[in-house]
Structure 1
């Protein structure tokens, strides 16, 4: 089992939502934390709210413009020593149709949701292989398994994450590197507010499904329990988990007809 006590845990997207909740639950387990996101002020707020702020470091980074992941990983390790666990939580969604989504928006989503997690993971892998231990948890989504209108870029990025990390697991788990894919459904965060809307601007509104979703603290606890149990993947969802099984086990034409009837923002 992967225990968090006295481990060095690096969390991206840690300034709010699931990332902030992951920091709270990891700190409660005795981990030393490095918190990253674009918003330095909010990261400092999270740091001060934790029980041992002196064991928490703030490392601001804009993952949409990540340049030099290796240097950033060295900087992260400079706080408390080598990183034991990376939580790739930062993400960017969308609320636009296929016809209304430009290539710059698709590229931005892929930079944040796919290329940045891969770059950070690859920066840590050589040390983990040399040490024979390391763990990365990827906060994916039910959209890593299903499709829906107005989510072409987001679903594509999450599907890509599953492909990359499933392949990496086959290669590297025998060398002591573990991978956990966490797939939340609706969680009460700002994912819709911050999503890309028309023209690549922030959507600025929350979805009803998000507002009625799972408490981020509950989601974070389920993620850490999956990590502690060395789960390869965990689906963290309520009623929306039915769509995952529908897509997997029934004819695709049935799922397509079902998804076409759904009202989505």
Structure 2
């Protein structure tokens, strides 16, 4: 955890799940934390539940509200004198077939998971370049490489995130900018509860695969280890998810047959 000491770290999606787990772990380190999500009351709860509250600032934001994000990034930079590490963790998922999913839902997913995510990185980039250091951590998903049933919009948004950050890494490597893509498999969070159905309503149930996945603590420990090692990509999950990534890469035809037969919960 030494890598995170004396740094200012901004975490989105910090009101629950993986984001809250990151706050819990990093609050034990001598660093400054900025925590963001839509629900200010939940952010305040997360802050109060953790150590070193004097070094935690609450900054509510909505990733879907693009016009507000430049000002949010400017505010984040003023809180502790510049952001060193950005954990782009906020996002929404999906659980419905392509034919049933409205274009409004497809756009909503892309607005939050892609445009909202990359906006924060773009707005922080000038300050990071000026200081000669910055680390962008995008918590994406295994479906950023493979795509499975009922997740067309979610998977597409994660594929887009990969394309953006791969370009960012190559363009600004000489400016001291680091990029780490974290690809979790199934993690036992409430993301499937809030996953959007085709009409925009929430699924409101916990997927069986999600329930059997890694705990947040297990994921966060491995995630932070990968970030501290400045890995470019890290696959964190059970055997099936990680195996699927390599199967897609080396045996795409076989993977295509298997994914058609997989359970969709």
Shift of 1:2: 7.8
Q: Return structure 1 stretches of 4+ with deviation > 3 angstroms.
A: none
CA contact (8 A) 1:144 1:159 kept: yes
Q: Distance in 1 between matches of 2:101 and 2:207?
A: 19
Partner of 1:135 in structure 2? 135
User: Are the counterparts in 1 of residues 186 and 210 from structure 2 also a CA contact under 8 Å?
Assistant: yes
Q: Residue in 2 aligned with 1:238?
A: 238
TM-score of the aligned structures, taking structure 2 as reference length: 0.97
Matches within 5 A, 1:176-255: 176-239=176-239, 240-250=241-251, 252-255=252-255
2:3 is matched with 3
* Alignment correspondent of 1:42: 42
- Provide the C-alpha distance between the structure 2 equivalents of 1:260 and 1:30, rounded to a whole number of angstroms: 48
Structure 1 pair 2/86, CA: closer, same or farther in 2 (3 Å)? farther
Q: Describe the SS at the equivalent of 2:64.
A: helix
Cα distance in 1, alignment partners of residues 155 and 10 from structure 2: 25
How far does residue 79 in structure 1 lie from its aligned partner after superposition?
A: 1.9
The equivalent of 2:23 in structure 1 is: 23
Contact 2:70–2:120 (CA under 8 A) maintained in structure 1: yes
Give CA-to-partner distance per residue, 1:168-217, whole Å, 9 cap, x none: 11111111000000000000111100000141111111101111110111
Conserved? CA contact 2:18–2:220, under 8 Å: yes
Q: Tell me, in whole angstroms, the C-alpha distance in 2 between the residues paired with 1:162 and 1:220.
A: 20
* Partner Cα distance (1:150, 1:2) in 2: 40
CA deviation after TM superposition for structure 1 residue 43, in Å: 0.5
In 1, Cα distance between equivalents of 2:155 and 2:205: 20
Shift of 1:68: 3.2
Aligned equivalent of 2:62: 62
**Larger relative contact order, structure 1 or 2 (CA cutoff 8 Å, min sep 6):** 1
- Cα displacement string for residues 38-94 of structure 1 (whole angstroms, at most 9, x for unaligned residues): 111111110001111111011111111232322111111222221111100011110
CA distance in 1, matches of 2:223, 2:29: 13
Aligned length: 264
Report the 3-state secondary structure (helix = DSSP H, G, I; strand = E; otherwise coil) of the residue aligned with 1:180. strand
Over residues 192-244 of structure 1, what are the superposed CA-to-partner deviations in whole Å (9 max), with x where a residue is unaligned? 00000141111111101111110111111111111111111100011221111
Question: Greater shift after overlay, 147-156 or 57-66?
Answer: 57-66
Root mean square deviation of aligned Cα: 1.2
Deviation at 1:130, TM superposition (A): 1.1
**Paired residues of 2:105 and 2:198 also in contact (CA < 8 A):** no
TM-score, normalised on structure 1? 0.97
Query: Counterpart of 2:136 in 1: which secondary structure?
Result: strand
Secondary structure in structure 1 of the residue aligned to 2:121: helix
TM-aligned CA deviation for residue 144 of structure 1 = 0.7
CA contact (8 A) 1:2 1:227 kept: no
Distance in 2, matches of 1:62 and 1:203, equals 21
Question: What is the distance in 2 between the residues matched to 1:81 and 1:137?
Answer: 19
